[in-house]
Amino acid sequence: MQDVERDELHGSPSLVVIVSGPGGVGKGTIVEALVARDERLWLSRSWTTRARRDGERHDAYHFVSRDEFEDRIANSGFVEWTSFLGNYYGTPVPEGIDARDLVLEIEVDGARQVKLRHPDAVLVFVLPPSRLEQQRRLRGRGDAEDKVEERLRKAEEEEPVGIAMADHVVVNDDLELTLQELVRIVNHERKRRISR
């Protein structure tokens, strides 16, 4: 687990929004809808070595082999990367996003790495309304039962860490209300940067 050596976000977007949280809280759905509502946002598509789930969109991640991922690590091609439940996940160094604000949908360890290098990044930590609902969502998206149990155990470890690091904590009980809250946070952070 490491981040790249150069300051790859320096001088890039004016706002970096990290959306993080345990598996099954709806991060992917939230960020897709958020970016669709705001043309000033650009979503960095994460790389992963995990297999695509049945029914999962082909562009949900950039699905790659371990060799491809490790080659990119060796070439300092990630803002952050981590090994999580036996698979690699990483955020590629952004290219060609112009002046748009950057959205990163990443795991807790990746969020920690980005916040260490870029303290001005805004971390929104998303929680499930309950552990039971999180379990239902994990099963509903097609996770195998052993992976569901692993992710629930991992959530118990991640949540206190994520909450402690977060600039904002949001409970995703209702998608529309969660989106409204994210839009409010993004607009607030943009205004805060202008007034500096």
Phi-psi region of 58 (alpha: psi -120 to 50; beta: other; left: phi over 0): alpha
Residue 8 has pLDDT above 80, yes or no: no
pTM above 0.85, yes or no: no
Whole-number pLDDT of residue 53: 83
Homologous superfamily (CATH) for 15-194: P-loop containing nucleotide triphosphate hydrolases (3.40.50.300)
pLDDT tens-digit series, residues 85-108: 899 998 888 765 566 899 999 889
* Phi, psi of 62, deg, nearest 5: -90, 100
